Amino acid sequence: MPNLVLVIGNKAYSSWSLRPWLLMKHAGIAFDEIRVSLYEEGAKQKLLQYSAAGKVPVLKDGELTIWDSLAICEYLAEKHPEKQLWPAQPAVRAHARSVSAEMHSGFTNLRSQMPMNVRREIPGRGRTPEVAAEVTRIETIWNECRSRHGAGGPFLFGAFSIADAMYAPVVSRFRTYGVALGGAAALYAGAIHALPAMQEWIAGAHAETEVNPQYES
């Protein structure tokens, strides 16, 4: 049976690509990886070969095409129920889906002012009042999830779940821009950063040679 194929962008910058990639790596779901450099001439045409949306990530399962990070993660949860990618209890699963959806659709100031750049440390950049408010909201989510549901492990709902994959790029951003965390939020961020799969992604980012000046200034 052929492996799934995951099409991703630059590991240094593509936060949306990191989410399903990390989920699949950590869960042990086999896949082949196709990386498209998003900042080179012809990148859009390459992406259109995999999805009419022309964006990353894209998951190919035979003739089936799934795009959008959260849609890919939901598909993987249904395809691999044995991996328990969502919490088992309905109420806890609803909470996990809620915080994942908030990450998926929100935090626009953080995204624009603190773009993901795995290779750099730029402390203090982008610390607007609007970004500070979103950082506080994220800390609140992390602390609440850990307090209510974190007894079974170091992640938001104890065991690693889709919710952790959704927030992993934020952990990277906080390290890049020197966002200080305390208590449970700091411990949680450390657990995500220390994941072997996360370290593999970071190593891949440092091996890339492409540079996007917008994210490096």
- Structure confidence by residue, pLDDT tens digits, 146-181: 999 999 999 999 999 999 999 999 999 999 999 999
Residues spanned by CATH 1.20.1050.10 within the chain?
90-200
For strands 31-35 and 4-8, give the pairing.
parallel
Query: Helix (H, G, I), strand (E, B), or coil: what is residue 158?
Result: strand
Give dist(CA 188, CA 156) in Å, integer.
Answer: 7
Q: Which helix (H) or strand (E) holds 149?
A: helix 129-149
Residues spanned by CATH 3.40.30.10 within the chain?
4-83
Contact 72, 59 (CB under 8 A): yes
Q: Which of 3.40.30.10, 3.40.630.10, 3.40.47.10, 3.40.50.300 is the CATH number of 4-83? A: 3.40.30.10
Cβ-count burial 2-12 (b if 16+ within 10 Å, e if not): eebbbbbbbbb
Number of H helices, E strands in the chain: 10, 4
The whole model's pTM is what? 0.97
Q: How confident is the model at residue 212 (pLDDT cuts 50, 70, 90)?
A: confident
pLDDT digits (tens, 9 = 90+) for 18-38: 999 999 999 999 999 999 999
Domain 90-200 classified CATH 1.20.1050.10? yes
Plot region of 195 (φ>0 → left; ψ -120 to 50 → alpha; else → beta): beta
Give dist(CA 167, CA 144) in Å, integer.
Answer: 14
Name the burial class of residue 111, with classes exposed (0-12), middle (13-18) and buried (19+) by CB atoms within 10 angstroms of its CB: middle
